[in-house]
């Protein structure tokens, strides 16, 4: 009876009053002990109100039903396809929307709707993949910042491919501690390419030189990233490097000259097809008899064999590795030792000598930079006030 009176009254009531009455009826549906007849009548009234000309009425329903698992499924479905102001709370919170519903809305809805879905708690990988594939940059950013979203590795890569040129996307992703190393490297590549295009456009550098500098920056970043990669993450990184043509002799030599034996061994295992344990045993053989065969099987240029041999010998000696920098930068003494050997070896190829000279310059500049930073830190400590009372305490 009450519902029938409600239906009769609501036809002539002002929009604001209709909205408040609709809110009360929706709450009654969820928490009141309605008779079966009243429940059927209430659902009919709520369904009728989906056609109300005022969005305030439908918005009131959306606010009440958005988080409830007991809401009428047909009404929630209709509200999720309404205008954004009405649909957003339902899209972000309703447990009644299945994955297929959400994927369809991602494909056809507005940026605001995509963002609301990206903020959902426990967002399944299939929906996250849809946002990564067709979602806007804003939705991708919401997805990255949602700790409850389940993203497969290919979804991370797709976001990088589509939106990696945007600073906000890169910064948000690089702050994630569990971001796959291969994805982190892809972001660095996007940044390098963006910067290279910028300096070329401004006529600050020629295209060839900009590409070379960007390539060197990517290699440095690769070693830095690999220094924190282990297990499957390292293997996926190596696979990514090989698939993108970045697993070159120059990168592998840089890894060895940085003291990163894990990256060096994983790269040779990938290229040679040998198990990592077998490669590691060959590299730890102080006689070095198997190194040349390993390098040949990995397909590395014969002109680099001597450089790898001398660098590996140096890596076994005290003072050339374990410098405390996480196997992430070139070790100057190792570089200079290899360069000296190759400069006296008349069979060394000119491209290898050019590469080693670049390594020598880079490592010397890095050492000088660190030396100056240490001096500055010592000076800062020296000027601190001396407090006898503080020392005594």
**Residue range 40-63, pLDDT digits in tens:** 888 888 898 898 889 999 999 999
- 5, pLDDT greater than 50: yes
CA-CA distance, 346 to 331, in Å (whole number)? 24
Mean pLDDT of 293-312: 92
Mean pLDDT of 289-307: 90
Q: What is the pLDDT of residue 326?
A: 47
Query: Phi, psi (5° rounding) for residue 211?
Result: -65, -40
Q: What is the pLDDT of residue 382?
A: 66
pLDDT-based confidence at 212, cuts 50/70/90?
confident
Helix (H, G, I), strand (E, B) or coil at 386: coil
What the block records as the tokens of 252 is 């592998």
Q: What is the pLDDT of residue 387?
A: 55
Q: What is the pLDDT of residue 323?
A: 45
User: HSE (CB half, 13 Å, CA atoms) of 359?
Assistant: 30
Check residues 281 and 347 and name the one with the higher pLDDT.
Answer: 281
User: HSE (CB half, 13 Å, CA atoms) of 81?
Assistant: 12
pLDDT tens-digit map of 250-259: 999 999 999 8
Percentages helix, strand, coil for the chain (3-state, rounded to 5) are: 70, 0, 30
pLDDT-based confidence at 141, cuts 50/70/90?
very high
- 126, pLDDT greater than 80: yes
Q: What is the pLDDT of residue 156?
A: 92
CA-CA distance, 34 to 38, in Å (whole number)? 6
Q: What is the pLDDT of residue 386?
A: 55
Q: Please work out, in degrees rounded to the nearest 5, the angle formed at the alpha carbon of residue 118 by the alpha carbons of 113 and 123.
A: 130
Cα end-to-end span (Å), the chain: 81
Task: Collect all residues with Cβ–Cβ distance below 8 Å to 244 and sequence separation of at least 6.
Answer: 189
For the chain, give the longest Cα–Cα distance: 103
Q: What is the pLDDT of residue 144?
A: 95
Q: What is the pLDDT of residue 36?
A: 81
Within 10 angstroms of residue 205's Cβ, the number of other Cβ atoms is 16
Q: What is the pLDDT of residue 328?
A: 67
What the block records as the tokens of 174 is 């690089």
- 287, pLDDT greater than 70: no
Mean pLDDT of 196-219: 87
What the block records as the tokens of 50 is 């989906």
- 158, pLDDT greater than 90: yes
What the block records as the tokens of 239 is 């696979």
* Mean pLDDT estimate for the chain: 87
- 390, pLDDT greater than 90: no
- 29, pLDDT greater than 90: no
Q: What is the pLDDT of residue 282?
A: 87
Check residues 169 and 347 and name the one with the higher pLDDT.
Answer: 169
CA-CA distance, 186 to 225, in Å (whole number)? 11
Name the region of 273 (left: φ>0; alpha: ψ -120 to 50; beta: rest): left
Q: What is the pLDDT of residue 327?
A: 56
pLDDT tens-digit map of 227-286: 888 889 999 999 999 999 999 999 999 999 998 989 999 999 999 999 999 998 888 876
Mean pLDDT of 181-186: 91
**Among 76, 93, 101, which Cα is nearest to 26's?**
76
Report whether 140 contacts 155 (CB < 8 A). Answer: no
């Amino acid at each position: 009876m009450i519902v029938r009176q409600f239906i009769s009254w609501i036809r002539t009531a002002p929009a604001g009053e209709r909205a408040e009455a609709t809110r009360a009826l929706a709450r009654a549906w969820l928490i009141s002990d309605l008779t079966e007849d009243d429940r059927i009548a209430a659902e009919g009234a709520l369904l009728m109100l989906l056609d109300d000309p005022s969005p305030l009425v439908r918005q009131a329903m959306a606010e009440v039903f958005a988080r409830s698992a007991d809401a009428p499924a047909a009404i929630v479905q209709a509200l999720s396809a309404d205008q954004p102001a009405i649909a957003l709370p339902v899209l972000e919170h309703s447990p009644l929307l299945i994955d297929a519903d959400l994927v369809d809305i991602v494909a056809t809805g507005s940026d605001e709707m995509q963002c609301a879905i990206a903020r959902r708690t426990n967002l399944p990988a299939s929906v996250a993949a849809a946002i990564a594939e067709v979602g806007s940059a804003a939705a991708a950013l919401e997805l990255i910042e949602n700790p409850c979203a389940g993203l497969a590795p290919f979804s991370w890569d797709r976001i990088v491919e589509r939106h990696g040129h945007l600073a906000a996307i890169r910064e948000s992703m690089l702050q994630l501690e569990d971001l796959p190393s291969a994805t982190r490297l892809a972001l660095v590549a996007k940044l390098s390419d963006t910067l290279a295009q910028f300096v070329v456009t401004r006529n600050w550098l020629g295209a060839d030189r900009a590409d070379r500098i960007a390539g060197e920056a990517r290699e440095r970043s690769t070693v830095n990233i690999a220094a924190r990669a282990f297990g499957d993450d390292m293997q996926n990184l190596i696979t990514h490097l090989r698939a993108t043509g970045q697993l070159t002799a120059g990168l592998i030599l840089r890894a060895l000259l940085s003291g990163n034996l894990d990256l060096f061994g994983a790269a040779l295992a990938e290229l040679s097809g040998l198990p990592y344990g077998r490669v590691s045993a060959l590299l730890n053989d102080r006689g070095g008899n198997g190194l040349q065969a390993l390098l040949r099987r990995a397909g590395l240029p014969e002109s680099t064999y001597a450089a790898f041999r001398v660098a590996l010998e140096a890596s076994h000696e005290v003072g050339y590795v374990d410098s405390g920098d996480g196997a992430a930068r070139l070790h100057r003494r190792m570089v200079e030792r290899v360069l000296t050997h190759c400069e006296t070896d008349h069979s060394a190829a000119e491209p290898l000598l050019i590469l080693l000279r670049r390594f020598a310059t880079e490592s010397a500049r890095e050492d000088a930079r660190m030396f100056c930073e240490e001096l500055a830190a010592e000076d800062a400590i020296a000027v601190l006030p001396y407090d006898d009372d503080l020392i005594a305490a």
